[in-house]
Structure 1
């Protein structure tokens, strides 16, 4: 893996309206809560920051967005306040197929190791789904770039703050971007076959 220090932020709050308000990151896949599966994808993170209600994740720093349930931008702000490493993995708490090798590929792309980027590293790297759409909660970013983008951003859209940073977009096998927004998604995750 890349010799670059990184922290990880997992956004594990939200209202999960399409799941009837259930605690989505706490739902079980392969006998573990989704948020634990995501945490297992970042074993080399110097700090693991979980934004949302308290979770049983040893060693994790738990924080809440202000106001609680305020959305992904306030959640990112709260998580980023706990980050000290030069890079940060920004991840949803419901990615059952994300693995350490996917995060490593994102980190290499963000650091410019796989394909050199003008001026060194990119602002970040995100996974794209099968249709080529960026998955904003499945990426690795330069911490300084995220802080600068948030400092001048007053909107509520995660895409609005991240897209202008023009991250490297990665399509990786295994559908690591697959998230569990609906009961059908959850069933597919439990069967081990996305999409």
Structure 2
């Protein structure tokens, strides 16, 4: 199955005092490294966010416009960065703040093709996580164009962006979409700041 991957790593981390989530450590690797590993097998990967150090060769980078414009704008920027790369029919959208995202991605891949337009992670409690999903590239691009025409990308809702897509919710392993928004979240998930 051919797919590309957009890794979202551009948030302000305001509830973490500005510490970049992508640089936090879980099980010996940064959250960005874990996200890239979760997306292994992608034809092309793009990290949307501030310049990251020591990315693997071939990983693209870009920034949402304006910076900190939110995940809908970041998805649009990621799609634009992939435009010249001979894109795949599917794109994995993955936030970099879920330390166990690899388990979710494996479950999502196993469920493909799923809905007509893709699959989105769902927790055991039924909580949908749109930043862990495989989406049809062409339909996602159409949704981005429509949102841009409504001026709804900057600080826009990802659920609203995806509302026109026919998606299947896929139950993923417990904890695999738990994310780090606060230091309490980090402590509960075993995520820490790298020691100097």
Given the two structures, how large is their TM-score scaled by the length of structure 1? 0.85
More displaced stretch, 124-133 vs 70-79: 124-133
- What residue is the counterpart of 2:122 in the other structure? 128
CA distance in 2: counterparts of 1:97 and 1:72, whole angstroms: 20
Q: How does 1:177-192 map to 2 (within 5 A)?
A: 177-190=177-190
Whether 1:22 and 2:25 are equivalent positions in the alignment is: no
Q: 1:89 aligns with which of 79, 88, 92?
A: 92
Contact 1:19/1:183 (8 A) holds in 2: yes
Deviation at 1:81, TM superposition (A): 1.2
Deviation at 1:184, TM superposition (A): 1.5
Whether 1:12 and 2:9 are equivalent positions in the alignment is: yes
Given the two structures, how large is their TM-score scaled by the length of structure 2? 0.85
Whether 1:80 and 2:61 are equivalent positions in the alignment is: no
Deviation at 1:133, TM superposition (A): 1.7
Q: How does 1:76-155 map to 2 (within 5 A)?
A: 76-83=75-82, 84-99=87-102, 102-112=104-114, 122-153=116-147, 154=150, 155=152
Deviation at 1:108, TM superposition (A): 4.3
Supply the RMSD in Å over aligned alpha carbons.
1.6
- What residue is the counterpart of 2:55 in the other structure? 57
Contact 2:104/2:177 (8 A) holds in 1: no
CA distance in 2: counterparts of 1:20 and 1:90, whole angstroms: 25
CA distance in 2: counterparts of 1:172 and 1:71, whole angstroms: 24
Aligned residues: 179
Structure 1 unpaired stretches of 5+:
none
CA distance in 1: counterparts of 2:77 and 2:131, whole angstroms: 15
Structure 2 unpaired stretches of 5+:
192-196
CA distance in 1: counterparts of 2:163 and 2:34, whole angstroms: 26
CA distance in 2: counterparts of 1:110 and 1:164, whole angstroms: 19
CA distance in 1: counterparts of 2:88 and 2:164, whole angstroms: 22
Higher relative contact order (CA 8 A, sep 6+): 2
Q: How does 1:22-41 map to 2 (within 5 A)?
A: 22-41=19-38
CA distance in 2: counterparts of 1:108 and 1:148, whole angstroms: 26
